[in-house]
Amino acid sequence: MQIQRKLVLPGEEIATPEEFVVDGRAYLDGVFRAAALGVAVYDRRSHTAVVKPLREDGYPRQGDTLYCVVTSKGVRALSAKCVAKEGRGVEELKYPVSAVIPPQFVDGKVGIGDYIRARVVSNIGPPFLLSIKGPTFGVVRAICPKCGSVMKRRGAQLVCPACGAVDVRKIAQGFYV
């Protein structure tokens, strides 16, 4: 049997890098592991394997651009809930997914409740690892820290139309109207 199939659970070992080159919903963590519930298909002749998700899970992939709301600021990372994905337009995700943004991928100020445009930097998740580095990534809708209103952009600053509070954010250029 040159082709073999095996049901795999998220995190389950697929193969060692010495045995197989693994593609699809897998990640390398010393050994290749499944990133999703799926089927691992092994081709023993070419020493390649691919992990196919059991059903199209709609999960974001590395390189995708997501829209997320920042839910909390932890000691080690910001937490966010992602609700939409940029494709030909912006599509709502079938299921919102959780994500984290470590400080090295933030590069500026972000507030709780803000909506951000972010890039997925890892296939592992949820929670998915996001980055808002780069000029077109960052806050697309900021929430006033004093009263919760949506802040308006005025030059490099943001101003609250309700209470007059002024703040700054790492704004996604071209995406904050």
Q: Which range touches Zn ion (CB under 5 A), out of 25-33, 107-115, 122-130, 164-172? A: 164-172
Cβ of residue 136: shortest distance to Zn ion, in angstroms? 26
Q: How far is the CB of 5 from Zn ion (least distance, A)?
A: 57
Which letter, b or e, does each residue of 103-123 get, where b requires 16 or more Cβ atoms within 10 Å of its Cβ? eebbeeebbeebbbbbbbbbb
Q: Which stretch binds Zn ion (CB under 5 A): 28-36, 38-46, 98-106, 143-151?
A: 143-151
Check residue 144 for interaction with Zn ion (CB under 5 A).
yes
Is position 160 an interface residue for Zn ion (rule: CB under 5 A)? yes
Contact between 149 and Zn ion per CB under 5 A: yes
Nearer to Zn ion among residue 62 and residue 149 (C-beta): 149
d(CA 152, CA 177): 8
Select the residue interacting with Zn ion from 7, 21, 28, 163 (CB under 5 A).
163
| Distance in angstroms (rounded) separating the CA atoms of residues 65 and 113 | 19
**Contact residues for Zn ion, defined by CB under 5 A:** 144, 146-147, 149, 160, 162-163, 165
